[in-house]
Chains A and B, each alone.
Chain A
Amino acid sequence: MSVATPAVTPRATNRRFSSGFLTTVTWLLAIGFFFPVAWMAMTAFKQENQAASDPPTWFFAPTLDQFRAVLEGGSMVYVGNSVIATGVSTVLVLLLGVPAAYALSIRPVKKVSDVLFFFISTKMLPVVAVIVPIYVVAGQLKVLDNIWTLVVLYTAMNLPIAVWMMRSFFIEVPGEVLEAASIDGAGLMRTMRSVLLPMVAPGIAATALICVIFAWNEFFFALNLTASQAATVPVLIVSTMTSEGLFLARLCAAALLASLPVILAGWIAQKQLVRGLSMGAIK
């Protein structure tokens, strides 16, 4: 007894110490991850000369001048293009992806894993490897600098991950529920509409948000395939860099505005998103 008692106390202290230590490490890592983003957000509210000062200006009168400059500089064309490319491609992904995910989960086709592998392998192709053929063919078809080219490409780009995610939600629907519906005489479309879709709706919503995030953020295709007509918001960010003068504060303001929709989408969907993405990876 007298041996056991002192052995317990250091261990408890040790555990308390290590949990405090771990919490501190977690905080430090989180701050490290957040720092560049916070710095960018702060810079966006500065004047250009404050943004460029060394040592940095920590205290300043926040100004909305940079945001005004970004919004007034004809940026609505870019925003409009981004909204079309993001919105239409996401709708198309769902229209094509929901049936595909259904076919791969509820009534599996033969060789599901091969089909799934085909989907995922296309997602993992390096974009640099596909840009040259796409550029050349788009040039021949005269669809360079055309927003619908981006719509089609973003649909193809997001389809694999969407099918992958939605399948992980579909396979969690218990088979008995579907059998019950079919015993009750519900046809395929009826089962789909009134039994299946309501059950997987949160998953489909999360998938849609992921597609919105990826399409809104896409830069490489937009940069190489558009010029003045079809350029999207990420391209606008690059164009705020001028060869002369100071542009850091305005760049940060543009970057912050461009990031707001996706940060909001990511924040709203975080729980579903984590689940959908990671279940796709582990199941």
Chain B
Amino acid sequence: MALTSRGAARVVPLAPAVVLLALFMLGPVVWSFYGSFTNASLTGPAALNPEWIGLDNYAALIGDPDFPKSLWLTVVFVFLSAVVGQNVMGIMLAGLLRSAVKPVRSIASTVVVAAWVLPEIVAAFAAYAFFHSEGTLNTMLGGLGITGPDWLYSTPMLAVIIANIWRGTAFSMMVYSAALAEVPPELTEAAQLDGANGMQRLAWVTLPVIRRSISTNLMLTTLQTLSVFTLIYVMTGGGPGTDSSTLPILAYQEAFKFAQVGYGTAIATVMIIVGAVFSVIYIRALRPEVD
């Protein structure tokens, strides 16, 4: 009796939160997974009574030339803007800020954090205004006598990758600042006495010590970047053609523009699988649980 009431005391505070999340976040995902095996659509007879069509949506995906391209663009976008861009830039900024004098440190970190707290739609417009053919970047290049290309048309992926690095680096910077502050100074000092230079100290002392933070942060930034929609949609609309249509853009267009809900949810399912694959790789490669 006492045991059950204690068990209840522990579960009761959690229950409302878990139920709410299950209902409004996991529920839709389960619905979406089920939907990917049907011919559900937004309009027409299939909207009310979708039929089970097995793996037809997935078979159609494999046959659709847009899909492998979109999958590839997504991997490129995640790898370059999150794994490389935000993490390397984040750790670099965190290191720089540690060695900077106090006023520089507080101003610089405030500025980087400001880019991160901006509403997503505002950040997306700011990036659009920066990169479009008569935008700020080309205006400045024009001042130097260089005629810049229409970045969003000729190099859409490069533009959205840089924009996502700009927007997201602050989070990595915050995580790595906290992680670096926890590295015992004796360790790096000892390595320094043993004659290790700056790069060697980073590679053999600092990075191994903070690898748990690296693993967690890689996972968070990857999953975050995998679901980026507004930034790309506002900047390029997934275009020109489908040249910057990552999986979220493709799934959204299929489901809402072309009303193919079943097909769109199949793409969304693939998206969740891609995220899971990335996560497993990080957990295996960096073994955060071993200390």
Q: Give the interface of A toward B (CB within 8 A).
A: 19, 22-23, 25-27, 29-30, 32-37, 39-40, 43, 54-56, 96-97, 99-100, 102-104, 107, 109, 115, 118-119, 122, 124-134, 136-137, 152-153, 155-157, 159-160, 163, 213, 216-217, 219-220, 224, 233-234, 237-238, 248, 251, 255, 258-259, 262-263, 265-267, 270, 273-275, 277-279, 281-282
List 5 A-B pairs, Cβ < 8 Å.
A26-B97, A100-B14, A103-B14, A152-B24, A213-B117
Task: Contact check, B20 vs A156: say whether CB atoms are below 8 A apart.
Answer: yes
B166: chain A residues within 8 A (beta carbon): 32-33, 36
A157: chain B residues within 8 A (beta carbon): 25
Q: Is residue B238 within 8 Å, beta carbon to beta carbon, of the partner chain?
A: no
Task: Contact check, B272 vs A33: say whether CB atoms are below 8 A apart.
Answer: no
User: What is the interface of chain A mostly: helix, strand, loop, or mixed?
Assistant: helix
The 7 closest A-B pairs by CB, nearest first: A99-B13, A126-B227, A278-B178, A129-B268, A266-B117, A133-B28, A124-B223
Per a CB cutoff under 8 Å, which of B108, B122, B224, B256 touches A26? Answer: B108
Bound-complex Cα distance A141 to B268 (A): 24
**How many whole Å from A227's CB to the nearest CB in chain B?**
14
Q: Is residue B119 within 8 Å, beta carbon to beta carbon, of the partner chain?
A: yes
Q: Is residue B53 within 8 Å, beta carbon to beta carbon, of the partner chain?
A: no
Per a CB cutoff under 8 Å, which of B23, B96, B178, B268 touches A25? Answer: B96
Q: Output the residue of B25, B104, B143, B275 with the most chain A CB within 10 A.
A: B25
Task: Contact check, B117 vs A262: say whether CB atoms are below 8 A apart.
Answer: yes
Task: Contact check, A238 vs B177: say whether CB atoms are below 8 A apart.
Answer: no
Q: Is residue B158 within 8 Å, beta carbon to beta carbon, of the partner chain?
A: no
**How many whole Å from B270's CB to the nearest CB in chain A?**
10
Bound-complex Cα distance A52 to B146 (A): 20
**How many whole Å from A66's CB to the nearest CB in chain B?**
14
Task: Contact check, B25 vs A156: say whether CB atoms are below 8 A apart.
Answer: yes
Task: Contact check, A130 vs B21: say whether CB atoms are below 8 A apart.
Answer: no
Task: Contact check, B226 vs A126: say whether CB atoms are below 8 A apart.
Answer: yes
B96: chain A residues within 8 A (beta carbon): 22, 25-26, 29
**How many whole Å from A273's CB to the nearest CB in chain B?**
8
A29: chain B residues within 8 A (beta carbon): 93, 96, 108, 112
